[in-house]
């Protein structure tokens, strides 16, 4: 009898959800499982319980060859610990070794945006690019820097934390402890906040979101806003115009610093595609220094969209990092 097929699982751990997936060597997602992330004010064990449930559901009793973890947080250069996570409770925890012991298989760990960049570099829209920046938009913003075809990790392994660049001094408070961070103005949270704030105003203009959320603004989610925007809802379109404009402003700052060949947008909010990217492209062109005298990098949606993190994480597990 031949040996059993190898099973590699990628796990993307974000601020609101866990996505686990069996991924083939060619990057095809074969099976998935989802769980809700317990939040950042809970015991770390509860987050790891959710990861375990999702991994075991995907495995379905089969032996696991390796698991790659894509964490929405600051991962150390050794790939051992999540040193800090704005939306999760990890604070220097030995995440990799603890889960490896718990699952009894090889586990590798990296930042979620680095994993997404790996998927896009090897199999997606950044394939063959020498210099590229990837921005992941979900609950917050993550990022990855590719220079000369190599992923830039930085001294501490924490390069690419674009979401916590301050864009508004003394601006909105952020989960990281700072204020005015970019992700407070351009992210899934920012999209929902924009809509809820306007729905809370007395005698506001009607929106189809009221029907979609049953009249309760607390029920508003990013996918509902995307659905309404595609149907022409003015409030939803205004939300994407605002979040997209802020995205373009931030991208202009990054392009000024790194002068990349292309800018890739991934994460859950990227599912809105041109609803988000069109205003971002316009703001990038308007904001980029010397925009008339340079080639403005194209802004592309990640080929694998919200699944880029799990695909890159599984690829990382195949090579051991």
Which domain CATH number covers 315? Answer: 3.30.420.40
Residue 171 belongs to domain spanning: 128-302
What pLDDT is recorded for position 186?
97
pLDDT at 42: 81
Q: What is the mean pLDDT of residues 194-201?
A: 89
Residue 29's CB is within 10 A of a number of other CB atoms, namely: 16
Instruction: Name the pTM for this structure.
Output: 0.87
Do both 110 and 141 map to the same domain? no
Q: Give pLDDT, residue 203.
A: 64
Answer for the pair 254, 144: CB distance below 8 angstroms, yes or no.
no
Domain membership of residue 206 (yes or no) is yes
143 alpha carbon, distance to own chain's centre? 8
Q: pLDDT tens-digit profile of 50-104?
A: 999 999 999 999 999 999 999 989 999 999 999 999 888 999 999 999 999 999 9
Kindly state whether residues 286 and 228 are assigned to the same domain. Answer: yes
- With both helix axes pointing from N to C terminus, report the angle between 222-230 and 188-199 in degrees, rounded to the nearest 10: 70
**Among candidates 286, 281, 253, 241, which has minimal Cα distance to 265?**
281
Task: Quote the CA–CA distance of 145 and 180 in Å, as a whole number.
Answer: 22
**Mean per-residue pLDDT, 135-147:** 93
Output the pLDDT for position 1. Answer: 34
- Overall domain count for the chain: 2
Mean pLDDT value of segment 161-190: 96
In a domain, 276, yes or no: yes
Q: For residue range 4-21, what is the model confidence (pLDDT) as tens digits?
A: 589 999 999 988 889 999
Q: Which residue has the higher pLDDT, 260 or 210?
A: 260
């Amino acid at each position: 009898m031949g040996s059993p097929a190898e099973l590699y699982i990628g796990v993307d751990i974000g601020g609101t959800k866990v996505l686990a997936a069996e991924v083939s060597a060619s990057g095809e997602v074969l099976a998935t499982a989802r769980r809700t992330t317990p939040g950042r004010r809970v015991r770390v064990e509860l987050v790891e319980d959710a990861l375990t449930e999702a991994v075991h559901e995907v495995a379905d009793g089969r032996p696991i060859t390796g698991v790659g973890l894509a964490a929405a947080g600051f991962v150390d250069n050794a790939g051992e610990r999540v040193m800090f996570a704005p939306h999760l409770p990890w604070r220097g925890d030995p995440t990799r070794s603890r889960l490896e012991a718990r699952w009894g298989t090889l586990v590798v760990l990296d930042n979620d945006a680095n994993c997404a960049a790996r998927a896009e570099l090897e199999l997606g829209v950044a394939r063959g690019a020498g210099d590229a920046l990837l921005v992941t938009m979900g609950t917050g913003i993550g990022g990855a820097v590719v220079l000369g075809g190599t992923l830039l990790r930085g001294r501490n392994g924490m390069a690419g934390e674009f979401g916590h660049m301050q864009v508004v001094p003394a601006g909105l408070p952020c989960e990281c402890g700072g204020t005015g961070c970019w992700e407070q103005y351009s992210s899934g949270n920012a999209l929902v906040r924009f809509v809820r704030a306007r729905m809370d105003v007395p005698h506001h203009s009607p929106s189809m979101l009221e029907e979609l959320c049953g009249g309760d603004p607390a029920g508003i989610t990013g996918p509902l806003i995307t659905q309404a925007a595609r149907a022409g809802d003015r409030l939803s379109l205004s939300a994407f115009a605002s979040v997209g404009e802020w995205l373009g402003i931030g991208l202009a700052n990054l392009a000024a610093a790194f002068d990349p060949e292309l800018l890739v947008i991934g994460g859950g909010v990227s599912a809105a595609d041109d609803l988000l990217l069109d205003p971002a492209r316009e703001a990038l062109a308007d904001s980029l220094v010397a925009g008339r005298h340079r080639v403005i990098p194209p802004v592309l949606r990640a080929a694998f969209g919200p699944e880029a993190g799990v695909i890159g994480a599984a690829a990382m597990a195949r090579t051991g990092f």
